[in-house]
Amino acid sequence: MRVGVIIVAGGRGQRLGGPVPKQLLDVGGRSILQRSVLAFDDHETVSELVVVLPRDLVAFGPSLVGATTKPCNYVVGGERRQDSVQAGLSALSSSVDTVLIHDAARPFVSDAVIDRVVEATRRTGAVVPATRVRDTVKRVAAGGTYVAETIPRDDVWLAQTPQGFRRPIIDAAVQLGATGVEATDEAMLVERVGHRVEVVPGDERNMKITTAEDLMAARAMFASVPRVGTGYDLHRLVEHRPLVLAGVPIPFDRGPDGHSDGDVVCHALCDALFGAAAAGDIGQHFSNTDPRWKDAPGLDLLARTVAIVGQLGWRPASVDLTVILERPKLGPHVPAIRSALAEILRLDQGQVGMKAKTNEGVDATGRGEAIAAHAVAVLIVGESE
């Protein structure tokens, strides 16, 4: 048995709208088309692939799909679905005796569904995977206002793809299709040539992406877990420098030394954000040898950091800080610092934690020679609002 797969992506998905053809929309970092093709390319029983594309896309097929391990042909689709399938059949090797036909708009087809379809096709020659309906099913009279009847739910199944056929059966069925019958799936044509079509269990996850809601549901399957980063900063305290944390001036006779303004709160947070995005650290982005960042306000660097991680597709969901300073007491300034950070991070104050500690007189920080801060940041998918 030699299994060939026809992936039908001949339409432009008008229902989803937009300038990008539906099959090229991204779901979890890969296009819908790519996912559909690679699902079969990865399957061990499949020998070759044919992808049916609209005329203006067919030349780009190999670059849109990327490398495949199996032979893959790209052909131009036709006016009707069965015309596209016909084009696909013509591009299969003559040695292919078992044909699977799959909607490109179903990118989540599982190995288990493919296995069931291949195995059943071997036995019965024509197979459709399908799922049961959970809702009560009504037939509505023409005009769409009143229920004509309630159809017994157990009799109703929802057809999916890939549908599997022995080659002579699908060849004959598509011939029939060519004579004027309009089919919405291949099984329908096979039924018309009088061949029994076996139903095997499909899979609820093998959804067809047709509407904007479908696309959102598909993308939600790839919503990633939050990302967490930590940051740390320390600056010596010296005379004749102002002590400013997150733009809040703190009256004191000394302040942090440094190329920038030495705002440990903002610097630790920048590193936490870069860390969560796996995007390097503050020194790489704002080098302390670059004159641009001489005395740069910490809040300015923080705002730039939020923009950089935003370009990578992340936005802050919450942060937490511990600032270690022996003197003066930071407690009275914490609300103002949290408020300033919340504004730059585009968070509510309830998402910005801050604790002020002393080091109990121990080590350089404890002797008042330095100020230090530890930060944790959580990033989630999405650009900042």
- Minimum distance, C-beta of residue 236 to Mg ion, in the bound complex (Å): 11
Q: Is 155 helix (H, G, I), strand (E, B) or coil?
A: helix
Does residue 233 bind Mg ion (CB under 5 A)?
A: yes
Conformational region of residue 112, where left means phi above 0, alpha means psi within -120 to 50, and beta covers everything else: alpha
Total residues belonging to the chain: 385
Task: Name which of 41 and 263 has its Cβ closer to Mg ion.
Answer: 263
- Minimum distance, C-beta of residue 283 to Mg ion, in the bound complex (Å): 9
Does residue 271 bind Mg ion (CB under 5 A)?
A: no
- Minimum distance, C-beta of residue 135 to Mg ion, in the bound complex (Å): 60
**Residue 291 token pair:** 């004159």
Task: Name which of 38 and 270 has its Cβ closer to Mg ion.
Answer: 270
Q: Could you tell me if 325 and 247 are in contact, meaning their C-beta atoms sit under 8 angstroms apart?
A: no
Q: How far apart are CA 138 and CA 98, in angstroms?
A: 36
- Of 183, 209, 208, nearest in space to 197 by CA: 183
Task: Name which of 139 and 292 has its Cβ closer to Mg ion.
Answer: 292
Sign of CA dihedral 246, 248, 251, 257: positive
- Minimum distance, C-beta of residue 220 to Mg ion, in the bound complex (Å): 39
What count of other Cβ atoms lies within 10 Å of the Cβ of residue 226?
Answer: 12
Question: Which of these segments, 5-13, 78-86, 231-239, 271-279, binds Mg ion (CB under 5 A)?
Answer: 231-239
Question: Which of these segments, 43-51, 64-72, 262-270, 368-376, binds Mg ion (CB under 5 A)?
Answer: 262-270
Task: Name which of 116 and 267 has its Cβ closer to Mg ion.
Answer: 267
What are the backbone dihedrals phi and psi of residue 285, each rounded to the nearest 5 degrees, phi first? -85, -35
- Minimum distance, C-beta of residue 242 to Mg ion, in the bound complex (Å): 15
Q: Is 201 helix (H, G, I), strand (E, B) or coil?
A: strand
Task: Name which of 242 and 335 has its Cβ closer to Mg ion.
Answer: 242
| Closest residue to Mg ion: CB criterion | 267
Task: Name which of 103 and 271 has its Cβ closer to Mg ion.
Answer: 271
**# chain residues binding Mg ion, by CB under 5 A:** 2
Q: How many helices (H) and strands (E) does the chain have?
A: 12, 19
CA angle 249, 253, 254 (to 5 degrees): 80
- Minimum distance, C-beta of residue 297 to Mg ion, in the bound complex (Å): 12
Question: Which of these segments, 122-130, 182-190, 264-272, 369-377, binds Mg ion (CB under 5 A)?
Answer: 264-272
- Minimum distance, C-beta of residue 290 to Mg ion, in the bound complex (Å): 14
- Minimum distance, C-beta of residue 245 to Mg ion, in the bound complex (Å): 12
Task: Name which of 267 and 374 has its Cβ closer to Mg ion.
Answer: 267
Task: Name which of 286 and 314 has its Cβ closer to Mg ion.
Answer: 286
Q: Could you tell me if 102 and 8 are in contact, meaning their C-beta atoms sit under 8 angstroms apart?
A: yes
- Minimum distance, C-beta of residue 370 to Mg ion, in the bound complex (Å): 11
Q: How far apart are CA 248 and CA 251, in angstroms?
A: 10
Q: How far apart are CA 178 and CA 80, in angstroms?
A: 9
Bridge partner list, 201: 130
Task: Name which of 129 and 258 has its Cβ closer to Mg ion.
Answer: 258
Residue 59, C-beta contacts closer than 8 angstroms, at least 6 positions apart = none
What count of other Cβ atoms lies within 10 Å of the Cβ of residue 224?
Answer: 12
Task: Name which of 105 and 270 has its Cβ closer to Mg ion.
Answer: 270
Question: Which of these segments, 64-72, 170-178, 222-230, 265-273, binds Mg ion (CB under 5 A)?
Answer: 265-273
Tell which one of 22, 35, 166, 267 touches Mg ion (CB under 5 A): 267
Does residue 195 bind Mg ion (CB under 5 A)?
A: no
155 alpha-carbon distance from chain centroid: 36
**Alpha carbon distances (Å) from 45 to 13, 42, 93, 187:** 30, 9, 16, 21
- Minimum distance, C-beta of residue 373 to Mg ion, in the bound complex (Å): 9
Binding footprint of Mg ion on the chain (CB under 5 A): 233, 267
